[in-house]
Structure 1
Amino acid sequence: MNIGLAALIGALAFAVVTDIRHARVPNLLVALGTVAAGLYHGISVYGGGVLHVLSGSIGLISLLEGMMVGFVCLLPLYALRAMGAGDVKLMMMVGAFLGPLQTLGVVVLTFAAGGALAIVMALWQRSLRQVASNLRFLLTTYAVRATGGTGPELEPLQQTAGRMPYAVAIAAGTLLQLILVRSGGWALS
């Protein structure tokens, strides 16, 4: 395992633990992880990135592009109050390690992992009925506004089904991306 991958996995593990225990992702962790990514890509020999078997630097431009992909993909969910700012910053840190294409793969896999985690948590907390009600409300509101000629505006829900530690989904998406890249069976690598 290369040092960049070890730093990424270590930062994600710490983020998962703090998100589960304290319901937040520390800014210091994200800052240190981003600095570690910058150092890794700044001093390593050019290669395929931290997830590839032939690891190496992706370059500082790809680092910035990866951060931007993480930011742009998760910002709408933050704007809807569906996730916290720490989750967006954590995905930006992941993007700093991976670059734009692999970050996009992580985002897709994170959304899938987040959906599965949401269902598991709703079943565990016995709030599946509230989740279904919220989803119906969002879809109905969107459909009514879209057919009425007004732009779709999604407003935060007044009653939520609970809080989910999204760092778990981000870590799962990142590990799934690692597995798929290493197996060669994923187009986003």
Structure 2
Amino acid sequence: MVVAPYLDTLLLLLAAAAAINDLASRRIPNLLLLCGLACALVLHALSPSPGEALLSSLGGFAAGLLIFLPFYMMRGMAAGDVKMMATVGAFTGPATAFHIAIMAWCAGGAMAIAIIVFRGRLLLALRNLWHIARGLWLRIPVGSAAKSESAGSMPYGVAIAAGTIYVLAMRYS
């Protein structure tokens, strides 16, 4: 059974549902991600070479998790975003998960700039970046600097969905 079209279709549905939930409630439901992960594993198990497909799926899950985990640990990203990227990786495998992460970072950067400018918080964001850069240059440990006001948060599930849609669209174009 050829499972790639089913994997891609379910992944697009998962990404869209997660992005809509993130926009509406600033949360990505664990149940949605768990169901997506289960679907990915079942579809990979039904592939012509299930052992290889399941290993790729687990590798993609690990890659997605490890790519975004440092941002969560530095409190720059929510846990739902990390779990979403890990689930996306379970659908795609490690190489494509890495490509999607890069595209998500690009989309996230563009979104962040737009949100900061739209909310009139550009100077605050630049000041925060200066404090971060100065801390790195002076080798000040991450937790020891004085807390600064946040320039705002954003629904990063939308950026992950955009990266996913872009990579899958390029696959079929």
Q: 2:15 maps to what in 1? A: 12
CA distance in 2: counterparts of 1:7 and 1:28, whole angstroms: 15
Q: TM-score, normalised by structure 1?
A: 0.83
Q: 2:97 maps to what in 1? A: 103
Q: 1:51 maps to what in 2? A: none
Change (3 A) 1:158 1:180: same
CA distance in 2: counterparts of 1:35 and 1:153, whole angstroms: 40
Post-superposition Cα deviations, 1:13-40, rounded to whole Å, max 9, x if no partner, equal 1111111111111110110000010111
Q: 2:157 maps to what in 1? A: 167
Q: TM-score, normalised by structure 2?
A: 0.90
Q: 1:43 maps to what in 2? A: 46
Report if aligned partners of 1:40, 1:57 keep a CA contact under 8 Å in 2.
Answer: no
How big is the shift at 1:182?
3.2
Structure having the higher helix fraction is 2
Aligned residues: 168
How big is the shift at 1:57?
9.6
How big is the shift at 1:176?
1.6
Post-superposition Cα deviations, 1:124-156, rounded to whole Å, max 9, x if no partner, equal 1111111111111101111011xxxxxx63348
Query: 5+ residue gaps in structure 2?
Result: none
Match of 2:109 among 112, 115, 136: 115
CA distance in 1: counterparts of 2:162 and 2:126, whole angstroms: 24
Change (3 A) 1:90 1:122: same
Identity of aligned residues (%): 35
- How do 1:83-102 and structure 2 match up within 5 A? 83-102=77-96
RCO higher in 1 or 2 (8 Å CA, sep ≥ 6)?
Answer: 2
Post-superposition Cα deviations, 1:65-104, rounded to whole Å, max 9, x if no partner, equal 0011111110110011111000000000000000000001
How big is the shift at 1:164?
0.3
Q: 1:154 maps to what in 2? A: 142
SS of 2:142's equivalent in the other structure is: coil
Q: 2:58 maps to what in 1? A: 64
Q: Residue type matched to 1:30 in 2?
A: L
Q: After the TM superposition, list the runs of 4 or more consecutive aligned residues in structure 1 that deviate by more than 6 angstroms.
A: none
Report if aligned partners of 2:128, 2:148 keep a CA contact under 8 Å in 1.
Answer: no
